[in-house]
Amino acid sequence: MVGGVLWMMSDARAAPKTHVVTIENMRFNPDVLTVQRGDRVVWINKDLFPHTATAQTLAFDSHSIEPNASWTYVARKAGEYAYGCTLHPTMKATLTVQ
């Protein structure tokens, strides 16, 4: 208490969140995702074969995510990242970090 007033400090930043991208039927779901810096993104491979989650700029690269496995990325740098599966070039998505 200062001068009869209770001062409360608040952290303007929200606690980091975890977002899930499911890889299934040769698609990323969701294929467009917006997160905040510090958030975690978890890709879970529910297909029967391996996939990757690789940014075109190589800002992140999961390497091979085996079936029934996952990979986690902590989004640290703001930007828009087009990414895809290097093993299956038709699989594309976008991660936006604010």
- The CATH number that applies at residue 89 is 2.60.40.420
Residue 63 covered by a domain:
yes
Q: Give the global pTM.
A: 0.85
Strands (DSSP E) found in the chain: 18-24, 27-29, 32-35, 40-45, 54-55, 70-74, 79-85, 88-97
Residue 32 covered by a domain:
yes
Residue 2 covered by a domain:
no
Residue 3 covered by a domain:
no
Split into its structural domains, the chain has a count of 1
The CA angle 66-67-69, to the nearest 5 degrees, is 70
Residue 76 covered by a domain:
yes
Residue 10 covered by a domain:
no
pLDDT in tens, the chain (98 residues): 445 544 444 445 679 999 999 999 999 999 999 999 999 999 999 999 999 999 999 999 999 999 999 999 999 999 999 999 999 999 999 999 99
Q: List the domain range (segments joined by +) for residue 84.
A: 18-97
How far is Cα 88 from Cα 48, in angstroms, rounded to an integer? 13
Residue 24 covered by a domain:
yes
